[in-house]
Amino acid sequence: MILDGKCPTGPIETTWDRHRFESKLVNPSNKRKFKILCVGTGLAGGAAAASLGELGYNVHAFCYQDSARRAHSIAAQGGINAAKNYPNDGDSIYRLFYDTIKGGDFRAREADVWRLAQVSNNIIDQCVAQGVPFARDYAGYLDNRSFGGAQVSRTFYARGQTGQQLLLGAYSALCRQVKAKTVTLHERREMLDLVVVDGVAKGITCRNMVTGEIESHWGDAVILATGGYVNVFYLSTNAMGCSVTAAWKAARKGAYMANPCYTQIHPTCIPQSGEHQSKLTLMSESLRNDGRCWVPKKKEDCDKPAGSIPEEDRDYYLERKYPSFGNLAPRDIASRAAKEQCDDERGVGPGKRGVYLDYQSAIDRVGEDTIRERYGNLFEMYEKITDENAYKQPMRIYPAPHYAMGGLWVDYNCMSNVPGLFVLGEANFSVHGANRLGASALMQGLADGYFVIPYTIAGYLATVKPGEITAEHPEFKKSADEVKGTIDKMLSINGKKTPAELHRELGKVMWENVGMARSDSSLKAALKMIPEIREEFWNNVKVTGKNGEFNQQLENAGRLADFLEFAEILTKDALNREESCGGHFRVEHQTDDGEAMRNDEDFCYVAAWEFKGNGVEPEMHKEPLKFENIKLAVRSYK
């Protein structure tokens, strides 16, 4: 099937404005009749629930945390992009559009990315009005810093806590609507199924994580804003509760999973210290503004203290390989470059899986106090974890799984192929292509929630009769019974391996075979091992406790069951895509100097996979990508 993204045509500068005007509206007195379910309360979900509540819709918001303010958006550190051009350094909406298309290695829709760039400026105004404490310069104006993949300073930030501050802004807007009774919050609920009636999304089935009760909730539309899936690698920078469950349950009910092989490896993470770890810690990409990445030129110097290695014996490899961008090369390129140095046996630290991020030059140039003002809390976090003072010696960093560019397929209206199911933020595939530029995840989440979905969902609801299908419909009972049956099955197995043990096994297979570098042989090996782990799970997992109580083992087992199905489709997508682009690097497709080699003739499309069942080949649907405003070109940062 050839998919239609429903992108507006005509001059791209006017596409979003025309689309908004041409979309159907719901009049104010009718909005309160519509019930909208919003799953996830991070930047995308929280902003969407608050905005839709403000408009007068009846919104029910769900999160698995004990508070909406604990969503994983809180962990974002470095900043949020916008084309304000405050530094007067040549930025514009078009340049942000260009950098994002190029950064995604020409694998994103032009119309979606233009809209993102256009509304970026509104986001900053919105957040300032909410009281978000963005950094300001000496004169009191909003400050900006640089990020990878751009030669202008367009990133707004609040020290190393940008995600937290933005989420508090969205949370305050959400709480205002809760008090106004336009939004009802359901905390400690985990969505375990999507209810589809006659091909249309009409509700969700979720588990009360405190009591174990299975609940049915109906809605005239369902919004998923549930984040990404990189915990499929087990070790990642994501919170341990982050999962693919909500998106995958939708995929099992017919929603297409688009470009699942596009996963981002972040170059700036604290290296793994041992097998005992259950997650990895991100250090903001903003640190590469003033930090310089290097490794020793000689293998024999790798065990020496960094300070004892003279300047002439250091390889500032990003500055050497990419002189135009240097340490601000995009994440996928910087990650592969770090791996390349370690594979060359020039890595540092335990296990030789690390490179230096050095601030001495910046401290000499602007002083330690200035560096402390810019990144102080990040340096404190690093010292708490490693017991090393990064003002006195270089940080050690290494790439780690971080972000999912792939996700559920959506059209220009952010609606999936299942009518009534909308997907926002990291949970959809929309704007990042094969690689996400730094500081654009927060931009997408808030753009989708504050400025896109309030317009596009109205166009759908204007065609729907409110309250036509409620939880009394037989499909809700059928869904609840299926969820209960799956839970009972997991509890009854009583095997010998914990969910964590099996998840660690899956993660090792995925990282070694489907991680930073992928090959035909490694992907086929993974496709052989994943079903074996899945079979062992359903025959040998041990889930302690019972359902009618708080049970984290049960939660973890359910999430792992979904990862074990999703991992296979991710790997099949990577095997099918015979090219290297962005975060998807096939070793068979690279230039002589190790750069990614795209194949535009055969793979310039979105791959949207339809799940057909375990053991059955999924069906791939294509959405061709057209580049009418930015010509396809070799992506170079040299």
Round to the nearest angstrom and report the end-to-end CA distance of the chain. 39
Q: Are strands 263-269 and 221-224 parallel, antiparallel or unpaired?
A: unpaired
Rounded CA separation 261/233 (Å) = 12
Q: Which of 331, 396, 577, 598 is catalytic?
A: 331
Rounded CA separation 324/216 (Å) = 55
Cβ(596)–Cβ(580) below 8 Å: yes
Rounded CA separation 283/266 (Å) = 9
* Other C-beta atoms lying within 10 Å of the C-beta of residue 517: 18
Rounded CA separation 421/405 (Å) = 19
Query: Which residues lie closer than 8 Å to 501 by C-beta, 6 or more apart?
Result: none
DSSP 447: I
Task: Please report the DSSP string for 519-579 in residue order.
Answer: -HHHHHHHHHHHHHHHHHHHHHB---S-SSS--HHHHHHHHHHHHHHHHHHHHHHHHH--S
Rounded CA separation 357/564 (Å) = 35
Rounded CA separation 578/583 (Å) = 13
Q: Are strands 35-39 and 58-62 parallel, antiparallel or unpaired?
A: parallel
Cβ(355)–Cβ(293) below 8 Å: yes
Q: Which among 187, 185, 188, 219 is positioned nearest to 204, based on CA atoms?
A: 219
* Other C-beta atoms lying within 10 Å of the C-beta of residue 196: 21
Residues in the chain: 638
- Retrieve residue 597's tokens: 């080699």
DSSP 383: H
Rounded CA separation 143/104 (Å) = 26
Cβ(541)–Cβ(221) below 8 Å: no
Q: Judge whether 331 counts as a catalytic residue.
A: yes
Rounded CA separation 147/89 (Å) = 14
* Other C-beta atoms lying within 10 Å of the C-beta of residue 547: 17
Residues designated as active site: 331
